[in-house]
Every structure is written in C-alpha cells, then in structure tokens.
Amino acid sequence: MGKYQIIATAAMGLEALVAKEVRSLGYECEVENGRVTYTGDETAIARSNLWLRTADRIKIKVGEFKAFTFDELFEKTKAIPWEQFLPEDAEFPVIGKSVKSKLFSVSDCQAIVKKAVVERLKKHYKRNTWFEENGALYRIEVALLKDVATITIDASGSGLHKRGYRIDQGEAPLKETLAAALVMLTNWQADRPFIDPFCGSGTIPIEAALIGQNIAPGFNREFVSEAWKWMPEKVWDDARMEAEDLAKYDQSLDITGSDIDHRMVRIAEGNSVEAGFGDLIKFKQMQVRDISTTKEYGVIVGNPPYGERLGDKKAVELMYKEMGQAFSKLETWSIYIMTSNEEFEQFYGKPATKKRKLFNGFIRTDLYQFWGKRPPRY
Ligand SMILES: C[S@@+](CC[C@H](N)C(=O)[O-])C[C@H]1O[C@@H](n2cnc3c(N)ncnc32)[C@H](O)[C@@H]1O
C-alpha cells in the first residue's frame, strides 16, 4: 500500500464538517480554507470518495512548492515522480487557478505544467513522440495561492455531490453536499420524525434517509480513480463491501417531504425511488402553513424561497410569517431554516436559538436554528 497526501475539498463554511467526517473515517487531518488534508493509502482514497457526504471532491496532492517564475514552476513540476502516478497511456489534461500570485496567467501555468509532466514521462517511458493519452483519466490541477503551487490529481471524476439519484430537479435545487450538511448540523437521529416542508426535488429528505440508514452516499456511482492502475480493484471491492456491511437497511425512518408545487412532489418521488428508498420517504403536496402534527421531538429542515426575485419579496415574507405561526405549535420540534433574508426572524416571529452562516453557491445565507425541548430521559 502506498502513502498519499489526500485533499478533501470543501465549500466555503463546510470545512469543519468535512474534517469531522474525515476523522470519523479514522484519519487525522488538517483544516484550511476550502480543504481538509490528510495522509492515507489507496483504501483511504476509496473510502473517502464513497463516504464523505459534505466534501466536493477527493484529490491527491503530488506536489506543493513556491513558484515565482515559469522556470521554477517547470523544474519543480518536472521533479515530481509522475511515473508513479501516470501510466504511459494516461490521459492527463491540466486545469489551473491562480490567486494573489506572481504567476497569474492560468493558461500559461497549465501549459508549463503539461510540458513538465510530458518531459518527465518521456524520459521515464523512453519516448520521443507525444503520448496518445487514450487510457484512464488523471486530471491534474495547478492551483497557485500566494505564490505557492499545489499540484493535485483529481480522484473523484464528477463532483461528489453527484450521487446518481437525481434524475430530475426543480428551479433551485440544493447541492446534495449542502443538503447533507444541513441534516448533519441538526440533532436529528434516525428514530425521530423529520420533515422538509420545501422539499423541491427531495434533496434534503433523501440525504436524511441516506444518513439515517448509514448508506455511503457514493455507493451508487463510479469514481475516476477506479480505472487507475495503482488503485487495485480489491481496494474498491473491499470499500464497497464495508459500505454494504455498515448500511442499516432495516432502520425504519419517518421522513416526509412536502412542497406547495405538486410537480415538485412527483420529481422528489422519482428521485427517491432512484435513490433506492421507494416509498420509504413520504412526499405530499402541501403548503407550509398547513403543516401540523401530533408527533413529538421531530426535526424540520427547510430551504424556502429567499424572496430575492423582484415581485416575490412580499409573498415570501408573508409565507415566513405563516410558517412561524404553524411551527409555534410544535413545541418539542427543532426547526432549521436556511435563507438569505436577513429579517427572517422578524417575519417568523421568534429569535433564533442560534444562527450559522452558510453559502448556498455564492448566496450568503444563515441557517436559523430554533431548538425544541429535549426529549425526556428514561
Ligand atoms: C429553493 S426550493 C427548494 C429546493 C429543494 N431543497 C431541492 O433541493 O430541490 C423552494 C421550494 O419551496 C416551495 N414552496 C414555495 N412556497 C411554498 C409554500 N408556501 N409552502 C410549501 N412550499 C413552498 C417551492 O415550490 C420550491 O420547490
């Protein structure tokens, strides 16, 4: 088994959650802006891809160095033992980004990194011609930040939010990674009722069900590193077997998603079936103001419209007010609403127990948390 520097990339604000997940997989890690770094073997790469619910992707860090000139970038990239990662037929496109660095031309940095890798591989594989690049994909990234170049290879392929269950979606679907984060930020346990009153395409209820039954979010998809020569098939088989063993398919769930729009309810049902939950998650057409229940100690997580579109504002504010009135009857429930509306508490009619800043894409939002009574201890 090899030893690799692994990076789990994280959306702004989710780093601590990603780190918590990495630690619970058994790896000590360091947290920085936008990424969590740790050391692990091939199994760690496979398990990270399969299990991390809130990370964006898994990358292998193959080099990190200061680079103030193109020469430096070329030589230091060439010094990386690329032959240990890339076989002769590897397809290796190079992408890049540069922030606050002398080398600001991203396209030049990409071209130089590509040239350096080719030089290194030509020497190792004893070739004078270009590589055909008709094998497995090893997408290289050169990321410059304050003149430090981090060179990585992407081990995920499509982003980890692509779980494979979303066959259709509405207008403003939540990224699956953020939906999982919302559920993880609550105190919900699988034996408690769960409602998403603005379910849209069903992302939050589906992520809650995956968490509730401890199903690895990547279980139903493939990863680019599955085709890598140095990632043995057995590693993937074992990681998938572990995921299968740890899944609690018998865990009963009481998860409901509702939405004012019946078309969204149909879409959510379709996605839930695709995720393997069939009718385990209940979906229904309903306005948030009509939500009532006699069940206790449940959790509500919702991503309502934010009222940012012209003409929507007043209607959304009224809806927040009606929501506050409906939820005021649910004394034992904990309620978590994510919105960018800074006056939300005023309309809802109650100050939040706690607020947490979160980014929904580029939109700055708050997760307004209203903690319910604790369940009695027996
Ligand atoms: C931002 S979207 C939610 C997206 C969802 N989280 C997803 O991943 O697809 C907001 C949803 O709230 C629904 N909605 C708007 N007003 C509502 C109301 N008064 N009661 C219930 N649902 C409402 C919309 O139909 C829309 O599907």
Q: Is 260 in the pocket of ligand 1 (CB under 6 A)?
A: yes
Q: Is 200 in the pocket of ligand 1 (CB under 6 A)?
A: yes
In whole angstroms, give the CA distance from residue 378 to residue 297: 15
- Return the H-helix or E-strand segment holding 370: strand 363-370
Q: Are 96 and 90 in contact (CB under 8 A)?
A: no
Contacts of 151 (CB under 8 A, 6+ apart): 61, 62, 63, 64, 77, 80, 113, 140, 141, 142, 143
Q: Helices 203-212 and 262-274: crossing angle, nearest 10°?
A: 30
Q: Is 172 in the pocket of ligand 1 (CB under 6 A)?
A: yes
The confidence score (pLDDT) of residue 378 equals: 61
CA of 330 to the centre of ligand 1 (A): 20
In whole angstroms, give the CA distance from residue 153 to residue 298: 42
Question: Per residue in 139-197, pLDDT tens?
Answer: 999 999 999 999 999 999 999 999 999 998 888 899 999 999 999 999 899 999 999 99
CA of 253 to the centre of ligand 1 (A): 22
Q: Is 304 in the pocket of ligand 1 (CB under 6 A)?
A: yes
Question: Per residue in 111-141, pLDDT tens?
Answer: 999 999 999 999 999 998 889 999 999 999 9
Please give the average pLDDT of every successive group of 10 residues along the chain, which has 378 residues.
95 97 98 97 98 98 98 98 97 98 97 98 93 97 98 98 91 94 96 97 98 97 96 97 98 98 97 93 98 96 90 92 97 97 97 97 96 80
Residue 374, Cα to own-chain centre: how many angstroms?
Answer: 29
* 177, 178, 181, 183 alpha-carbon torsion, rounded to 10°: -110
The confidence score (pLDDT) of residue 330 equals: 96
Residue closest via CA to ligand 1's atom 7 equals: 173
CA of 172 to the centre of ligand 1 (A): 9
CA of 252 to the centre of ligand 1 (A): 26
Q: Tell me, what DSSP letter sits at residue 119?
A: H
Q: Is 60 in the pocket of ligand 1 (CB under 6 A)?
A: no
Torsional class of 15: left (φ above 0), alpha (ψ -120 to 50), beta (otherwise): alpha
Beta bridge partners of 40: 4
Looking from the CA of residue 174, the nearest atom of ligand 1 is 8
> From edge to edge, which strands make up the β-sheet containing 4-9?
30-32, 35-40, 4-9, 57-66, 148-154, 140-145, 94-99
Which among 174, 264, 281, 283 is the best mutation to test ligand 1's pocket, defined by most ligand atoms within 8 Å of the CB? 264
